[in-house]
Structure 1
Amino acid sequence: MWDKAPVTQTIARRLQEMIRSGELAAGQKLPSQRVLSERMSVSRPTLREALLTLETLGLVQTLPARGTFVMDPANTQPPATTWRYDDAYDLHDTFQSRLLIEGELCRLAAPVITPQAMVQLETACASFEDSWKAGDLVAHVEADLDFHRGIAAACPNRMLASLYQTVQQLLTETQRQPIPNTAGERMAQSIAEHHAILTALQKADGPAAEQAMRAHIRNTAICAGIDL
């Protein structure tokens, strides 16, 4: 299926657990990247990417010339989120590209998806819901990425699947970016949308799978302030 979670996600999960356990308290300034990377036995680029993931999820905030601080989970005001690739690609264009690519991947995968791939998608779908309920945002995102990557892997059009892989880093960032601004009601809707995609795939209904995926991406875009 897809590759195991990279080292970056492992480090992000470790830092998240330190925040959830109180080892890293709300408002606390994290050690410098040099000190923290040595403490966690990882390279500074890997640590930097993990911190960017946590910042996108609203768990930490980096302030210029001051450092990186743990966000207060009790703060009801969602942190301002920024699009990491704004210098190269517009967020609207990225969501629009995702709408076109993933909708077609879904349509083509539906008639030919294997029972093994379906089991993996069902596992990812269940983990997506369970990790959200448990407040494990890193695992939640990993499950979301697994679900979408699994559909791409099941697509019989290898050129289209390769195209997805080429732009995957951009597309998957749109899955992380809206999370701090996602209310509980919207996440319940997102979970239901995943189930709708899964049901259409189980029925080998390509048009329904495409429609469900496109509706899901449009609603996710709304959370990021994008109207498709």
Structure 2
Amino acid sequence: MFNKTLLPQTIAREIQTMIQSGELKPGEKIPSQRDFSIRFGVSRASLREALLTLETLGLLKTEAGRGTFVAAAPSGSSGHMAPWRYSDSYSVFDVFQTRLLLEGEIARLAAGRLTHAQLERMENATRTMEDCWARQDLLSNVEADLEFHGTIVAACSNAMLKALYQTVREQIAEAQRQPIPITDPDRMRESVGEHRQIIAALKSGDGNAAREAMERHVRNTARCAGLYP
């Protein structure tokens, strides 16, 4: 049984494993939230957060009046994006537009400031993204993506920009998950390549190149989500 202090991401990982192992089959209705909460020994709030994450990644699908089911289609260009969970506050377009402004400038100010350990962490995160996509470990793929971007934020010289990033981190994380169900292997390879271009610019200390590489990466991800032509 799970300890109640474990994060929703841990619960999501366990359910993802159940799907990958075939314990939960495509098209199958998952157990009720009550049953899952008892099985994992967690609150319904933590469970709901885990289920929302898996739905955004395209592993689950909720049908009004029927319940939540394991998605029948694998991730890729044939999938469908889940409803944007922050629509009451911001559109997903708003979030990507903010990412362009915020992360581009953060990358510019971080150029030349990352330590060897931080650059290595970003390279490892990029390799992890690639490896986890090949195994369709979607949770770990996105976690590695978040670590990549978070490492750049940590090296930014502007404390206020870093604080601003933290205030919208949940929405940014969701925007990084959102396109996964319609991301095909070619786009993931392009995304990994864009990460390596960002690393090269940061390592060289070229702030303008780092900003341009980051903006190109965010724009291409938004395009994958159907938000830019």
When normalised by structure 2's length, the TM-score is 0.93
Return 57-66 or 78-87, whichever deviates more.
78-87
Say if 1:118 and 1:74 are closer, same or farther in 2 by CA, change over 3 A: closer
State the SS of the aligned residue for 1:61: strand
Alignment of 1:12-161 (within 5 A): 12-73=12-73, 77-161=78-162
Q: Report deviation, 1:74.
A: 5.3
In the alignment, the residues of structure 1 paired with residue 97 and residue 185 of structure 2 have an alpha-carbon distance, to the nearest angstrom, of 25
Q: Report deviation, 1:129.
A: 1.0
Percent of aligned pairs sharing the same letter: 52
State the SS of the aligned residue for 1:112: coil
Say if 1:115 and 1:49 are closer, same or farther in 2 by CA, change over 3 A: same
1:154-193 deviation per Cα after TM superposition (whole angstroms, max 9, x unaligned): 1121111010001111111110001111111111111101
Alignment of 1:176-215 (within 5 A): 176-215=177-216
Contact 2:78-2:182 within 8 A present in 1 as well: no
In the alignment, the residues of structure 1 paired with residue 78 and residue 118 of structure 2 have an alpha-carbon distance, to the nearest angstrom, of 39
In the alignment, the residues of structure 2 paired with residue 171 and residue 164 of structure 1 have an alpha-carbon distance, to the nearest angstrom, of 9
What do you get for the CA RMSD once the two structures are aligned? Answer: 1.5
Unaligned residue ranges in structure 1 (runs of 5+): 1-5
1:170 partnered with 2:177: no
In the alignment, the residues of structure 1 paired with residue 46 and residue 7 of structure 2 have an alpha-carbon distance, to the nearest angstrom, of 7
In the alignment, the residues of structure 2 paired with residue 67 and residue 150 of structure 1 have an alpha-carbon distance, to the nearest angstrom, of 38
Which letter does structure 2 place at the counterpart of 1:56?
T
Which letter does structure 2 place at the counterpart of 1:196?
Q
In the alignment, the residues of structure 1 paired with residue 21 and residue 107 of structure 2 have an alpha-carbon distance, to the nearest angstrom, of 39
In the alignment, the residues of structure 2 paired with residue 212 and residue 112 of structure 1 have an alpha-carbon distance, to the nearest angstrom, of 17
Return 114-123 or 167-176, whichever deviates more.
114-123
Return 64-73 or 74-83, whichever deviates more.
74-83
Partner of residue 3, structure 1: none
Q: Report deviation, 1:80.
A: 4.0
In the alignment, the residues of structure 2 paired with residue 25 and residue 159 of structure 1 have an alpha-carbon distance, to the nearest angstrom, of 46
State the SS of the aligned residue for 1:162: helix
In the alignment, the residues of structure 1 paired with residue 193 and residue 74 of structure 2 have an alpha-carbon distance, to the nearest angstrom, of 27
State the SS of the aligned residue for 1:159: helix
In the alignment, the residues of structure 2 paired with residue 150 and residue 48 of structure 1 have an alpha-carbon distance, to the nearest angstrom, of 28
Structure 1 stretches of 4+ with a deviation exceeding 6 A read none
State the SS of the aligned residue for 1:29: coil
Say if 1:206 and 1:44 are closer, same or farther in 2 by CA, change over 3 A: same
Unaligned residue ranges in structure 2 (runs of 5+): 1-5
Q: Report deviation, 1:113.
A: 1.3
Which letter does structure 2 place at the counterpart of 1:60?
L
Equivalences, count: 223
1:10-29 deviation per Cα after TM superposition (whole angstroms, max 9, x unaligned): 11111111000001111111
